[in-house]
């Protein structure tokens, strides 16, 4: 075969030699072909690179949320120690630290991640541990420091955090600091707020320096004959106010915090912090409502409440807690009763944080007025709308100072309120017993006044109670509801304990406790932890909100506050499909629904006074990526 430029030889064809290949490679035709292919390759590569960069730039970002801290993950549980469980041997009718430890498995099983322990400090018990005689010791009625360490270890074994009540505003008048301050012993001379009498009545009675009133009524000033001066007490006269204008006092209280941090405490709930400072000039407070029956409410407390420098003191406490947070956040919660827009200042800001959150009592406040879907909606939105950017919400439905949730909202709505509270963004805080719908107990003044006494040092004090929501925890239908086998409990047990108790609810097919446990479990899902909140009122009486995060199952809380049955169309909310599955329903609906049942969202029949939680696959509009 003849190829141009080459001569065929006899024999089989053996291919081109190396020199022949090189000669062909440099042929102008093949050079042009190779150049065109190379240009085409790099052009397509650059186009794909540009496209990839464009996609990265224009595609909506899916930011990975920061991991939540322990105090954000699970419900917190307030334990009122005197009323939780008597663990004494022999039993004495009072709850104590060993009793709490004996019930930790129950608390863990609820899905609770942290216990807030009301005061257990050494105290004459005039106000249940809020008049503290020694900030570094345990009241004998609650046990010993060894008992506390045992409780702390047992909680850590179960992964439960311990938040201790801290009372920075005042001490007991039996505290060593006060006793030495009365005697003007250095450095305690000005540890409390002392001042001279304004004058004396003709018969020699000293006149208080101003018109300041105690929260519990009467003058906020008490005359001390030994020191021959008045001291300030914004609460009981047995609770003299500490003087935070004295830097030694601030350091003393920081030392107290450090002491308990060293004992293994994970944080503090700080009581009555808005009262920490008073006007240096001791000016009279303006009259706000002289016709008010409550003496304290008659005045505008501009000189004794929420002074600006209170936040500076709390900031000092927060700095100390942050310094101790190497092995886990040490949390700071503040208790302040004030309008929401003012309360937000207690969060501080990003560069100067104060509280991890101030308690949100709005659900308690609204339940003492007209309860409706609209009022609950407004309560939730007021908090969320005022929340500073990046701040963490919280929800409190009850505590030891307010009537029980079942008494305020009605037993029918217990589960519904827990649904609302536990699945909203933020940390829910549950007062012990609210998980099973405990109710207020009728406690007469005589029963309260003549309750069992406690030996506290050389004197024997009588307890007094302000509240029917502090009666013993109802564990079973046995003697004293399983709280104590003593002949008498410090407050009487509610007579309904025979049917309303933990054991009966755990054994029942459906109960408040079982609803609560499922709600706590749902909090661990991505939609509840990091999802968006959308909330509406339908048909004037049904509160509905969704928690949605793309790529994960959504949750929807639906509560009917009306007595009558209402039919609602849930597809009016964004991302809600035509069908959902029932996740959990209130005990009032036990005969109307079944778990995991598929329902049509466009026509949901909601019986009166109850609620349910639905799960669904959220629908999102198809997104178009700009070219």
For the chain, the helix, strand and coil percentages under 3-state DSSP, each to the nearest 5: 35, 20, 50
Radius of gyration of the chain (CA): 34
CB 556 within 8 A of CB 546: yes
Residue 462: the pLDDT is 39
- Two tokens, residue 286: 């303006």
Spatial separation of the C-alpha atoms in residues 253 and 235, rounded to whole Å: 19
User: Half-sphere exposure (CA, 13 Å, Cβ side) for 216?
Assistant: 10
Cβ burial of 70 (10 Å; 0-12, 13-18, 19+) is middle
Residue 25: the pLDDT is 64
| Through-space distance between the first and last CA atoms of the chain, rounded to whole angstroms | 56
The separation between CA 623 and the C-alpha centre of its own chain, rounded to angstroms, equals 37
Active site residue 294: no
Catalytic residue among 92, 127, 147, 271: 271
Residue 58: the pLDDT is 66
Cβ burial of 558 (10 Å; 0-12, 13-18, 19+) is buried
Spatial separation of the C-alpha atoms in residues 28 and 428, rounded to whole Å: 80
**Residues with Cβ within 8 Å of residue 129, at least 6 apart in sequence:** 118, 119, 120, 121, 123, 139, 165, 167
β-sheet with 229-232: strand ranges across: 194-195, 229-232, 221-224
State which fold the 176-232 domain adopts: Oligo-1,6-glucosidase; domain 2 (3.90.400)
Spatial separation of the C-alpha atoms in residues 585 and 331, rounded to whole Å: 33
Helix (H) or strand (E) holding 612: strand 610-616
Residue 449: the pLDDT is 43
Residues in the chain, overall count: 627
Spatial separation of the C-alpha atoms in residues 174 and 132, rounded to whole Å: 8
Vertex 156 angle, CA 154 and 157, to 5°? 65
User: pLDDT of 426-447, one tens digit each?
Assistant: 999 999 999 999 999 988 655 5
Residue 23: the pLDDT is 67
What residue segments make up the domains of the chain, in order of their start?
18-58, 71-169+242-516, 176-232, 526-616
Spatial separation of the C-alpha atoms in residues 229 and 208, rounded to whole Å: 9
Active site residue 335: yes
Spatial separation of the C-alpha atoms in residues 145 and 123, rounded to whole Å: 14
User: pLDDT of 524-573, one tens digit each?
Assistant: 999 999 999 999 999 999 999 999 999 999 999 999 999 999 999 999 99
pLDDT along the chain (627 residues), means of 10: 49 64 68 76 81 69 74 97 96 97 98 97 78 95 97 98 98 97 98 97 96 96 98 96 98 98 97 97 95 92 97 98 94 96 96 97 88 96 96 96 94 97 98 98 64 36 61 98 96 96 97 98 96 97 97 97 96 96 95 88 95 96 57
**In 310-463, which ranges are continuous DSSP H helix?**
310-323, 340-343, 362-367, 373-386, 405-409, 414-423, 445-449
What is the DSSP secondary-structure string of 284-353? Answer: PPPBS-TT-SSTGGGB--TTTSS-TTHHHHHHHHHHHHHHT-TTS--EEEE---S-HHHHGGGGB-SSSB
Q: Which CATH number fits domain 71-169+242-516: 3.20.20.80, 3.40.30.10, 3.30.450.40, 3.30.70.890?
A: 3.20.20.80
Compute how many other C-beta atoms are within 10 angstroms of the C-beta atom of residue 29: 8
CATH code at 526-616 = 2.60.40.1180
Helix (H) or strand (E) holding 19: helix 18-25
Bridge partners (DSSP) listed for residue 116: 78, 163
Return the exposure string of 165-198: e unless at least 16 CB atoms fall within 10 Å of the residue's CB, then b: bbbbbbbbbbbebbeebbeeeeebbebbbbeebe
Spatial separation of the C-alpha atoms in residues 592 and 585, rounded to whole Å: 9
What is the DSSP secondary-structure string of 526-569? Answer: HHHHH-EEEEEEETTTEEEEEEE-TTS-EEEEEEE-SSS-EEE-
Residue 382: the pLDDT is 97
Residue 452: the pLDDT is 40
Residue 447: the pLDDT is 56
Residue 464: the pLDDT is 43
CB 248 within 8 A of CB 269: no
Residue 46: the pLDDT is 82
**In 126-175, which ranges are continuous DSSP H helix?**
145-157
Spatial separation of the C-alpha atoms in residues 305 and 292, rounded to whole Å: 19
Catalytic residue among 96, 101, 335, 412: 335
What 3 state SS string does 562-625 have? CCCCEEECHHHCCCCCCEEEEEEECHHHCCCCCCCCEEECCCEEECCCEEEEEEECCCCCCCCC
CB 411 within 8 A of CB 437: yes
What is the DSSP-derived secondary structure letter of residue 242? B
526-616 has the same fold as 176-232:
no
- Two tokens, residue 98: 């060993």
Residue 288: the pLDDT is 93
């Amino acid at each position: 075969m003849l190829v141009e430029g080459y001569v065929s030889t006899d024999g089989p064809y053996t291919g081109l030699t190396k020199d022949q290949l090189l000669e062909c490679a440099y042929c102008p035709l093949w050079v042009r072909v190779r150049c065109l292919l190379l240009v085409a390759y790099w052009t397509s590569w650059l186009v794909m690179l540009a496209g990839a960069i464009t996609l990265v730039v224009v595609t909506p970002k899916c930011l990975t949320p920061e991991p939540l801290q322990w105090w954000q993950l699970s419900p917190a549980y307030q334990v009122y120690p005197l009323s939780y469980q008597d663990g004494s041997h022999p039993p004495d009718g009072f709850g104590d630290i060993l009793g709490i430890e004996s019930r930790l498995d129950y608390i863990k099983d609820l899905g609770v991640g942290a216990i807030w322990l009301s005061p257990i400090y050494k105290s004459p018990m005039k106000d249940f541990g809020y008049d503290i005689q020694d900030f570094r010791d345990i009241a004998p009625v609650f046990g010993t420091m060894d008992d506390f360490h045992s409780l702390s270890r047992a909680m850590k074994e179960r992964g439960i955090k311990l938040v201790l009540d801290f009372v920075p505003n005042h001490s007991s008048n039996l505290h060593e600091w006060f006793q030495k301050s009365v005697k003007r012993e250095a450095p305690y001379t000005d540890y409390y707020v002392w001042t001279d009498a304004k004058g004396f009545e003709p018969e020699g009675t000293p006149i208080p320096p101003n018109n300041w009133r105690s929260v519990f009524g009467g003058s906020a000033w008490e005359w001390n004959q030994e020191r021959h001066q008045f001291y300030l007490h914004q609460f009981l006269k047995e609770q003299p106010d500490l003087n935070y204008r004295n830097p030694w006092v601030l350091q003393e209280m920081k030392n107290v915090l450090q002491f308990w941090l060293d004992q293994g405490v994970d944080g503090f709930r700080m009581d009555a912090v808005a009262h920490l400072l008073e006007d240096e000039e001791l000016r009279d407070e303006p009259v706000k409502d002289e016709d008010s029956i409550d003496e304290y409410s008659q005045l505008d407390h501009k000189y004794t409440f929420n002074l600006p420098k209170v936040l500076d003191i709390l900031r000092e406490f927060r700095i100390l807690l942050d310094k101790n947070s190497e092995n886990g956040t040490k949390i700071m919660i503040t208790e302040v009763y004030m309008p929401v827009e003012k309360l937000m200042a207690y969060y501080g800001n990003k560069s100067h944080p104060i509280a991890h959150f101030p308690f949100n009592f709005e659900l308690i406040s609204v339940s003492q007025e007209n309860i409706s879907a609209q009022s609950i909606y407004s309560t939730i939105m007021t908090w969320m709308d005022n929340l500073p950017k990046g701040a963490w919400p919280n929800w409190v439905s009850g505590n030891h100072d307010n009537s029980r949730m079942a008494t305020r909202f009605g037993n029918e709505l217990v589960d519904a309120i827990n649904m609302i509270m536990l699945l909203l963004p933020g940390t829910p805080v549950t007062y012990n017993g609210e998980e099973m719908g405990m109710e207020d107990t009728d406690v007469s003044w005589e029963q309260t006044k003549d309750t069992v006494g406690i030996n506290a040092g050389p004197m024997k004090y009588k307890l007094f109670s302000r509240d029917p929501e502090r009666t013993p925890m109802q564990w079973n239908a046995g003697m004293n509801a399983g709280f104590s086998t003593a002949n008498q409990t410090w407050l009487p047990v509610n007579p309904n304990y025979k049917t309303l108790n933990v054991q009966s609810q755990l054994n029942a097919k459906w109960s408040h406790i079982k609803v609560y446990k499922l709600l706590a479990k749902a909090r661990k899902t991505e939609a509840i932890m990091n999802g968006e909140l959308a909330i509406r009122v339908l048909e004037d009486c049904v509160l509905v909100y969704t928690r949605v995060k793309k790529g994960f199952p959504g949750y929807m809380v639906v509560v009917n506050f009306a007595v009558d049955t209402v039919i609602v169309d849930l597809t009016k909310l964004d991302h809600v499909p035509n069908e959902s599955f029932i996740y959990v329903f209130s005990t009032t609906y036990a005969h109307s629904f079944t778990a995991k049942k598929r329902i049509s969202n466009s026509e949901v029949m909601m019986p009166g006074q109850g609620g349910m939680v639905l799960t669904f696959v959220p629908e999102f509009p198809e997104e178009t990526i700009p070219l």
